[in-house]
Amino acid sequence: MSLRFAVALIGLVALASCYSQQIDPMEAQPKLRPFAASRLFADASAMRSPPAGTVPMERTLDESAPTFNAADLALGREKFDIVCAACHGLVGDGDSVVATKMSLRPPPSLHEDRIRALTSDYLYAVIRDGYGLMPRYSDRLSVHERWQVVAYLRALQLSRHAPIAELPDDLRKQLEANP
Ligand code: HEC
């Protein structure tokens, strides 16, 4: 490397570092970095725990036991029919026009044993983040609507796997009379 080239390079690097501090003063300001030690706090750690009761933005307050009523299921159904059914079919069995056009990995039937075994949290995350070839739907469905869709999807899955004995009396009799 010639001397002239080396000098030019050092000059350039020095210039770039001044420039980045000018452009981004936060880069240069005093601050505590994650996992650094700090004398400010009794536990000597720069990282703080969030105050008690803090919840992530994307969580319903009572996520451990969300309760849904018939109105939620109806809204979940409405959203499912609008957003999901185009690919997964109105009853979730993967029978849709779009599915016939997606030859690489078509939308699966949501009644498959593997998908029935997935947790509701996971289903929620599939709607929020997408999965493989399936795009995310977080811009189309609010947090609450995503849970309503999950609840409706659970109801859809149950509809194909409910034991006859668990049906209400009138429905069971109707079915037994006309199998
Ligand atoms: C544009 C078509 C399309 C729409 C709309 C769509 N999906 Fe999907 N979905 C797919 C495809 C394709 C896959 C398989 C992706 C892959 O394997 O790469 C999939 C996979 C899934 C899976 C399986 C995930 C796994 O772990 O195997 C679930 C559950 C699911 N979708 C639920 C939904 C729900 C609920 C909605 C509505 C909010 C929805 N999908 C809307 C195309 C779609």
Q: Taking the chain (179 residues) in consecutive chunks of 10 residues, what is each chunk's mean pLDDT?
A: 83 74 75 90 91 75 67 97 96 93 92 96 95 95 94 94 88 88
Q: How far is the CA of 132 from the centre of ligand 1 (A)?
A: 8
Q: Whose CA is nearest to atom 17 of ligand 1?
A: 132
Instruction: State the pLDDT at residue 59.
Output: 61
Q: Whose CA is nearest to atom 11 of ligand 1?
A: 107
Taking only Cα atoms into account, the Rg of the chain, rounded to an integer number of angstroms, comes to 27
Indicate which atom in ligand 1 lies nearest the CA of residue 83.
37
Cα distances from 108 to residues 89, 98, 115, in angstroms, run 10, 12, 9
Cβ atoms within 10 Å of 143's Cβ, excluding its own: 15
**Sign of dihedral through CA atoms 162, 159, 122, 55?**
negative
Cα distances from 177 to residues 37, 166, 171, 172, 173, in angstroms, run 74, 16, 10, 8, 6
